A and B are shown apart, each in its own frame.
Chain A
């Protein structure tokens, strides 16, 4: 049974942390995707149970989610230790053991060829491209054109938290348009994770390959952003359906 002692973490705090963990393929929170089956808090220890949509979910993706869940929960000062258990997966034993014993991916899977860094970076890049589409749509809606958008850098942005908007300066800061901050901030968060906009005067928006965009190819790059979103939401539909189907199957088996 869960019990909360005076200075242990609250359930809400743990959930909030887990909510920051995304399925790297879908760029969507594992809480929203209902991968979290259980959270058990005992004093300063937190146990989290995870089940993914299929037993065949990529072991690399499963590993990333399990590690991220562990690290997010343990970032709470009230948590001493977390234990992550992956269920119903082809590699549940290796992943559960590896994550809790703090092994590297290579140590958990001796027959793997190195780490998951490359595939993680690739998926982060896709998430950035998908988020760029929403940010650029917001700028187009505000009346900016391709030339103005491809010229932007992060120093042209001025966040206003009191109104949840961003002022976007264009034409050598001669004027600004105001757009909602959510799509811009979501984009910036991922762009910083992928180390693309570390310099204030670096081009804000990029091709999927990470290069600055020229105005002539703006439309095509924007299409690719849309395509990346369609891919994620389609795969999301498949994962969601598979998860429901498996739940029904397992419930059916339990009833027999």
Chain B
């Protein structure tokens, strides 16, 4: 938990991965380009002394992930958002099953989301049911720009996608994390277009649609859609690390989000290992809106707002009882491993909160 003004803020990192981009796992040049592009994002928005080298970035492993997320209680829980990319990576980049190895070891600390791909047809529907049966997934991460054979992507408002959303609704898989990414088929279209979320969100009011990296580079379309569809949320990945080296821009983006969506529909996420919560949480918690933006937008990045964005909003979507978790973490395996029992008992701030 992060401590500010003598209050504890429970942090749920709503977007984490345990990926493998080692050269042995790459089977298509797209896989190498992909991890190089991620690495550029990493170095662009990470303080120099906290940057990883390329080898550790390709594969960091479960132990390191647990230590980075929870070792100094930067985050209290994490939500796995799988990214398959099986056309690029022989065993997948990070599949539900791979993430599950860690998530089932520490079920109290991780939420395990699954995925679907409407291009898989009936087999895909069966796979979704299987994920539901095996892991009771409460959400799915959808990567609409994923290459598969000749196809370079799909849309959430495709007829086939609606079949899968219906299945989610039927199974009680309520949280749909839509991730827009580069190059989609047809190539002449805009890969980051978020318009398909609008139709899906209004057709499935019982589901929650979390648009990752707040739709950037389509923040404008995203906010306009979210202003009209109250089941559309924004995930802060990519926007969050602006706090560190472009604080004025962070202030502006956050002001827009709070103005258009309100404080209840924005979710913190590091997109680990793109960025590491062990420094990112502090940067976001200590960020301030400029006087000009506060006056212009009439919004505040105050303690109450931060509590919601950093944890409570995700807790609402995922039925997490924060107080019960805090109690449980006073002696769970991770707290024992990192000596955090007193931290969760409210007696001692963790090292990160200095």
Contact = CB atoms under 8 A, between A and B. Distances in A.
Interface of A: 25, 54-60, 90-91, 105-106, 109, 111-116, 118-119, 122-123, 126, 208, 223-224, 226-228, 230-231, 233-235, 237-238, 241-242, 244-246, 248-249
Interface stretch (B74-82, B218-226, B281-289, B313-321): B218-226
A237 to B, nearest CB: 5
Contacts of A208: 224
B166 interface: no
Contact of B45 (A56, A111, A241, A246): A241
Nearest to B33: A55
Nearest to A105: B188
Nearest to B192: A58
The main secondary structure of chain A at its interface with chain B is: helix
A139 B347 CA distance: 58
Given A126-B220, A226-B256, A231-B218, 15 more contacts: A55-B37, A58-B191, A59-B187, A60-B190, A105-B188, A111-B186, A113-B185, A224-B224, A227-B219, A230-B256, A231-B216, A231-B220, A234-B249, A235-B217, A242-B40
A225 B139 CA distance: 34
Interface string B212-240: 00001111100110000000000000110
Nearest to A113: B186
B186 A114 contact: yes
Interface string B29-57: 01001101101110111000000000000
6 contacts: A59-B183, A60-B187, A109-B187, A118-B189, A208-B224, A242-B41
A226 B216 CA distance: 15
Q: Which of B30, B44, B45 has the most CB of A within 10 A?
A: B44
Given A237-B242, A242-B41, A111 B182 contact: no
Contact of A234 (B30, B186, B189, B253): B253
Nearest to B43: A245
A114 B216 contact: no
Given A60-B188, A113-B186, A230-B256, A246 B220 contact: no
Contact of A54 (B37, B191, B238, B253): B37
Interface of B: 30, 33-34, 36-37, 39-41, 43-45, 150, 152, 182-183, 185-192, 216-220, 223-224, 238-239, 242, 245-246, 249, 252-253, 256, 259-260
A238 B183 CA distance: 17
B219 A112 contact: no
A90 B32 CA distance: 11
Contacts of B259: 223
B37 A119 contact: no
B217 A238 contact: yes
Contacts of A234: 216-217, 219, 239, 242, 249, 252-253
A54 B191 CA distance: 14
Contacts of A91: 187
B190 A119 contact: yes
A224 B40 contact: no
Given A227-B224, A231-B219, A111 B40 contact: no
B150 A58 contact: no
A242 B37 CA distance: 8
B88 to A, nearest CB: 12
A244 B186 CA distance: 29
A231 B249 contact: no
Contacts of B260: 227
A226 B293 CA distance: 12
Given A234-B253, A238-B238, A242-B44, A56 B33 contact: yes
Contact of B182 (A58, A106, A115, A123): A58
A59 B186 CA distance: 10
Contacts of B30: 90
A128 B182 CA distance: 24
Contacts of B224: 208, 224, 227
Contact of A230 (B33, B45, B252): B252
A109 B217 contact: no
Given A56-B182, A58-B183, A235-B216, A230 B43 contact: no
A68 to B, nearest CB: 16
Contacts of A126: 220
Contacts of B253: 230, 234
A237 B189 contact: no
Contact of A122 (B36, B190, B249): B190
Contacts of B45: 241
Contacts of B187: 59-60, 91, 109, 111-112
Most buried by A among B36, B44, B188, B218: B188
A229 B36 CA distance: 29
B217 A113 contact: no
A165 to B, nearest CB: 27
B188 A113 contact: yes
A90 B183 contact: yes
